[in-house]
Amino acid sequence: MIGQKQLIRHFYENPPAFEKQTVHVSGWVRTVRDSRTFGFIELHDGSCFQNVQIVFGDQLGNFREITKLTIGSSLNVTGTLVPTPDAKQPFEIQASDIDIVSPASQENPIQKKRHSFEFLRTIAHLRPRTNTFNAVFRVRSILAYAIHKFFNERGFVYVHTPIITSVDAEGAGEMFQVTTLDPDKIKPPADYARELLGRKTFLTVSGQLPVEAFCMGFRNVYTFGPTFRAENSNTPRHASEFWMIEPEIAFADLEDDMKLAEDMMKFIFTHVLENAPDEMQFFDRFIEPGVIERLEKVIRSDFAAVTYTEAVGLLEKAGKDFEYPAAWGENLQTEHERYLSEEVFQKPVFVIDYPETIKAFYMYLNEDGKTVRAMDLLVPGVGEIIGGSQREDRFDLLLERMKKDGMSETVYDWYVDVRRFGSFPHAGFGLGFERALMYITGMKNIRDVIPYPRTPNQAAF
């Protein structure tokens, strides 16, 4: 029986091939509606976003049991696929046999009604059974593939940089400590030489530094993996564990970097629109009206770009009553970024050439001596989605900058080596995978695009 099953996806891909045919499907009940002598089941089989309607009549021996099926119950169904040109759905299956594999408890918290995302987060293990999360996580999978496809087609080498690292903070944020020492048993100060790994270690906040070294051997490389930040951030766009894509390109400057970022964004948007049409239509209808058109517009048009200095000028003469007025040398506030991306440009916009004082030590110093070749990509609704830079490849300047920031040369000696033994201009960026997913789906909270989100106070499941 199991070997003969067909997938609902195949019916939708080519309905005529199955019309009037006997089909076997297996799946889970989404809803049941019944009358005295017949009824309907919406069956979901996981192979695609869409369900298939099963029609059942009282000629079936287990008709009564079928009418009492609860949401989530699993079934094997045999029947005839018939077109239904006058109905909502293009076809349905008229059942000749329905085998109840396992009824679901009537206490199933997933009900035949709208649930709030907040509630569904508390049952993250049951969320995948809902329309929204089915769509979100299929698109997540498709998006991950699109990213690999983009880089693979361009000859990039995928590098697995370490999850556990001893490189303490490079400015990216607070780190989770990883230890084999039992905190309940050790007396301070801890003897980190007794760690299994022989030193104090953390979960990575970025794969950038280690991947830069691989750039030297493979020219164009990227990482794509989990990243951890121990910040006590409580916002819809921050998580303690998230995934990041970090390409690094050799013999390249900031303009090449921006071009790569723009090409990549357009590629992945296109790929998702082409490969998840049903899911995207769902988002467009129920999550964020207009999201498809927004993505299509972005694919057709060029991203905007302004220097930080120009951006501050725009903000100063905006005539807007910002809570914090923009000032050169200060970080752009979220309200500033929103104004730029949502009101001035109304599309993705690069802000480049930030003051050296507010950016990381490894960024290339401009000739003005005040700004660095950094870029942030801001998108409407999500904010900063990419942060990147051309790297400081001049040995002396890098050392000088590290000294100024009070950084340990011994911890970073291997990083400095990359410049010492044949330096070259290179650049890269970090794309927040979940932020890209939010932008594509219109989902408003990062907790709702991560299967089991980790945020302050939340590590269940």
Partner RNA sequence: UCCGGAGUAGCUCAAUGGUAGAGCGGGUGGCUGUUAACCACUAGGCUGGGGGUUCGAGUCCCUCCUCCGGAGCCA
Q: Which is nearer to RNA, 181 or 344 (CB)?
A: 344
* Angle subtended by helix axes 208-218 and 413-420, to nearest 10: 30
For RNA, the closer CB: 137 or 192: 137
Residues 6+ apart with CB under 8 A from 171: 360, 361
Q: What is the 8-class DSSP label of residue 199?
A: S
Q: Report the residue number, 92 or 284, with the smaller CB distance to RNA.
A: 92
By C-beta, is 250 or 446 nearer to RNA?
Answer: 446
Of residues 119 and 328, the one with the C-beta less far from RNA: 119
Burial of 96 per CB tally in 10 Å (0-12, 13-18, 19+): middle
- Sign of dihedral through CA atoms 135, 140, 141, 146? positive
Distance between CA 339 and CA 124 in Å, rounded? 34
Q: How far, in Å, CA of 394 to CA of 413, rounded?
A: 15
Least distance (Å) between residue 201 CB and RNA:
20
Least Å from the CB of residue 386 to RNA? 5
> Quick one: 74 or 331, whose CB is closer to RNA?
331
Give 213-260 as a DSSP string: HHHHHHSEEEEEEEEE------STT--SEEEEEEEEEES--HHHHHHH
**Residue keyed to tokens 């109304």:** 346
At its nearest, how many Å lie between RNA and the CB of residue 229? 4
Residue 387 Cβ, how far from RNA at the closest point, in Å?
3
Closest distance between RNA and the C-beta of residue 196, in Å?
Answer: 27
- Chain centre to alpha carbon of residue 321: 33
The minimum distance between CB 233 and RNA, in angstroms, equals 4
Report the C-alpha gap between 354 and 339 in whole angstroms: 18
